A and B are shown apart, each in its own frame.
Chain A
Amino acid sequence: MEELQELLKTYPANRHSLLRILQAAQRQMGYLPGEALREVASYVGVSPAEVYGVATFYNQFRFIPYGTHHTVVCLGTACHAMGGQLILDAFERELDIKAGEITPDHEWSLDRVGCIGCCTKAPVVVMNDAINAKMTPFKVEEVLAGLGLQLKRSTDSEGEEAGEREPQ
């Protein structure tokens, strides 16, 4: 928070600089925690609720940190037409979080965007700044397992197998 105080001092303390401060604060911290929003609010002299209102208006601001592995599912026109929603559903199912959320262990975070720009590779997913082209729900599991996620399904099936073995 001291870094944020330093940052605030470089901007004039009025409501006109609110957006620029929020952008700079997010650049500095990666996201906008509630504490930071409060500090910004008291610095520019508007209520925290109004700062929250302004920040939620713009999609560029996020209020939770990125996970170690940040996943962005493209739902632009091409990706949508090629089943991007199914890919997002697969991620939500496997990670057990919704788009815009983060897992409790802060390992995985999930987001959706309008278009990434490589529509010929639809549906596209960006994981840790690497593009995964022509995704399928099956490839979602593969990619996640490759990054070290303990897939629910595999642990479940192990449990089932163990259960099957027991009566023998």
Chain B
Amino acid sequence: MAEPVTEKATVELTIDGKRVRAEQGEKILWAALAEGIAIPHLCAIKEAEPPLGTCRLCLVEVEGQGVVASCVESVREGMVVHTDGERAVALRRRAMELLLADHPLECKDCPKKGKCDFLQLSIAMKVKRPKNYRPFPREELPVDASHPRIIFDPNKCIRCGRCVWVCKERVGEVPFDFIQKGYEMRLTTFMDKPLGESDCTGCGECVEVCPVAALCFKEGG
């Protein structure tokens, strides 16, 4: 009987022509990043299981499988991954365009100015906000400033779900979650109450992971 030498088995795969060893069950995205191969990603959190897979910015092509989200797809022995496949790049860019089209670009007055992951990634991907389409007009939602420490601006939210994940993971009793579905999906508290009336402890973990300025600390708070 062969004893397992290491605790976790590793597999070998090819990413952009480079032979890469990765732990069994690891996602393509993290295996690539560990090897210095860049894949755009926004919603991805390494510890998140199951992965969020909401932003669709980390799409790659896998031979014989088509386009997959690299933060969701696990590595397999002999897998051949192309991060710059034509289809994957086009879909990634379109995903970014759609996110930008639905995001108020008021960067000048934004509290996240200069440290916005979303903006930096859009610049890195060289994707600009499409000028001539805005899918459906969205009703502007009121900014929730009821909490003593945290301001929540639902209009800036890109619905990545990082805040919900981190709150579930680190705090437990999540005061907010996504409601509705499809285009109407948005982040809100139980029964749409202001955040200040919820059980939110104000620890700020959600603010730390928010890639945009939907969740921000109050000034001086």
Q: Assuming the A-B contacts A34-B190, A37-B190, A63-B191, are A49 and B177 also in contact, with contact meaning beta carbons closer than 8 angstroms in the complex?
A: yes
User: What total of chain A residues lie within 8 Å of the partner, measured CB to CB?
Assistant: 13
Q: Assuming the A-B contacts A52-B190, A52-B191, are A47 and B180 also in contact, with contact meaning beta carbons closer than 8 angstroms in the complex?
A: no
Contact across chains for B181 and A34 when beta carbons are under 8 A apart:
no
Tell me which of B98-106, B130-138, B168-176 binds A.
B168-176
Complex: chain B residue closest to A58, CB-CB? B181
Contact across chains for B175 and A53 when beta carbons are under 8 A apart:
no
Which residue from B173, B179, B189 sits with its C-beta under 8 Å from A56? B179
Q: Assuming the A-B contacts A37-B190, A63-B191, are A49 and B175 also in contact, with contact meaning beta carbons closer than 8 angstroms in the complex?
A: yes
A interface secondary structure, majority: helix
For window 33-58 of A, CB contacts with B under 8 Å fall at: 34, 37-38, 47-53, 56-57
Q: Which A residues lie within 8 Å of B173 (CB)?
A: 47
The answer for the CA separation of A47 and B176 in the assembled complex, in Å, is 9
User: What total of chain B residues lie within 8 Å of the partner, measured CB to CB?
Assistant: 14
Q: Assuming the A-B contacts A34-B191, A37-B191, are A52 and B177 also in contact, with contact meaning beta carbons closer than 8 angstroms in the complex?
A: yes
Contact across chains for B176 and A49 when beta carbons are under 8 A apart:
yes
Which residue from A34, A38, A47, A57 sits with its C-beta under 8 Å from B175? A47
For window 145-192 of B, CB contacts with A under 8 Å fall at: 173-181, 188-191
Q: Which A residues lie within 8 Å of B174 (CB)?
A: 47, 49-50
Q: Assuming the A-B contacts A34-B190, A63-B191, are A52 and B179 also in contact, with contact meaning beta carbons closer than 8 angstroms in the complex?
A: yes
Complex: chain A residue closest to B200, CB-CB? A49
Measured between C-beta atoms, what is the minimum distance from B149 to chain A in Å? 18
Complex: chain A residue closest to B181, CB-CB? A57
Q: Which B residues lie within 8 Å of A50 (CB)?
A: 174, 177
Complex: chain B residue closest to A46, CB-CB? B174
Proximity string of chain B (103-144) to chain A, C-beta cutoff 8 Å, 1 when within and 0 when not: 000000000000000000000000000000000000000000
Q: Which B residues lie within 8 Å of A52 (CB)?
A: 177, 179, 190-191
The answer for the CA separation of A49 and B189 in the assembled complex, in Å, is 6
Contact across chains for B191 and A53 when beta carbons are under 8 A apart:
no
Which residue from A34, A53, A63 sits with its C-beta under 8 Å from B177? A53
Measured between C-beta atoms, what is the minimum distance from A98 to chain B in Å? 13
Complex: chain A residue closest to B174, CB-CB? A47
Q: Which A residues lie within 8 Å of B190 (CB)?
A: 34, 37-38, 47-49, 51-52
Measured between C-beta atoms, what is the minimum distance from A47 to chain B in Å? 5
Q: Which A residues lie within 8 Å of B181 (CB)?
A: 57
The answer for the CA separation of A52 and B177 in the assembled complex, in Å, is 8
Can you name 7 A-B residue pairings with CB atoms under 8 Å?
A34-B190, A37-B190, A38-B190, A49-B175, A49-B176, A49-B188, A52-B179
Interface residues of A (CB under 8 A from B): 34, 37-38, 47-53, 56-57, 63
Given contacts A52-B177, A57-B179, 5 further A-B contacts (CB under 8 A): A34-B191, A49-B174, A49-B175, A49-B188, A52-B179
